[in-house]
Homo-oligomer: A and B are copies of this chain.
Amino acid sequence: VNVITLTTDFGTSDWFVGTMKGVMLKIHPRARIVDLTHEIAPGNIRAGAFALAASAPYFPNGTVHVAVVDPGVGGARRAIAIRTRRYVFIGPDNGVLSLAAANEEVRSVRVLQNEGLFLKHISRTFHGRDIFAPVAAHLSQGTGFRKLGARAGSYVQVDWPQPFVDADGVRGEVVYLDRFGNAITNIPADAVPAGDRVEVWMKRTQVGTLESSYESVPAGAPVAVVGSTGFVEVAVNTGSAARVLALKPGDPIRVRTGA
């Protein structure tokens, strides 16, 4: 389908992302390149993995997803590609691909070794341009997955906090703060039974029960909902939970379901 997505920590203030697109269009003039985001905090592999996993499943079959959050560029880490039933994921083997791949049926994993698919001159600091972009373009254009390099065996999993279930309910933590200041947690919706007996605590604030929308509470009040990624999320109606509740990644959430 010619669709290639990009998820990076490159920002958009420099020419890095644009240059990757030039490289891809030179190889594959019909590529349709879509930015997921380039504003992952520099080197934040977990945030990159989460963003990719949240977005990738909405793309058409055959999409090539490239993720470059790569603090170890030029060092010993491998570059890999993961082929699943629906997609190909390409990036450094540091965990940034692992959450998205976990949503899919993985078929094959290869190490990017075939230098014939890279740019001729490989810099030490910009593999997005020199390796990941051209390999993605070649794959999107039809180059066989086996041509990338040797099988990779396993690949690095991102460090991801698991929620903890006990008789009293579920304990988890904030994993992502979005642009609106909503706090996305690691507690999946299906771990929480519906009903008025549910009580959500974010740090020391009792947020109430799980509501159906932000507007279920007055403006300025905190509210817990099932967010669009399928996880419990704490927001403030027409405000920022991150600011009002002074939240940061890692802050504890407790969902009490006992009574």
Contact = CB atoms under 8 A, between A and B. Distances in A.
Nearest to A182: B125
B26 A13 contact: no
Given A13-B179, A213-B74, A18 B123 contact: no
A134 B180 CA distance: 23
B59 A26 contact: yes
Given A25-B3, A238-B71, A18 B34 contact: yes
A36 to B, nearest CB: 4
A72 interface: yes
A192 B35 CA distance: 37
Given A12-B39, A18-B36, A37-B12, A227 B125 contact: yes
Contacts of A26: 58-60
A250 to B, nearest CB: 19
A32 B75 CA distance: 35
A6 B5 CA distance: 18
A11 interface: yes
A215 B75 contact: yes
A76 B226 CA distance: 18
Interface in A14-69: 14-19, 21-23, 25-26, 29, 32-39, 42-43, 51-52, 54-56, 58-60, 63
Contacts of A16: 178-179
Given A7-B18, A22-B55, A126-B227, 20 more contacts: A5-B18, A11-B39, A13-B39, A14-B178, A14-B179, A16-B179, A17-B37, A18-B36, A18-B37, A18-B55, A19-B55, A26-B60, A58-B129, A72-B215, A74-B214, A74-B215, A75-B214, A124-B213, A125-B213, A130-B228
23 contacts: A1-B25, A5-B18, A5-B22, A7-B18, A12-B38, A15-B36, A15-B37, A16-B179, A21-B34, A22-B55, A22-B56, A22-B58, A29-B60, A42-B179, A58-B129, A74-B214, A75-B215, A123-B226, A123-B227, A123-B228, A125-B214, A125-B227, A125-B228
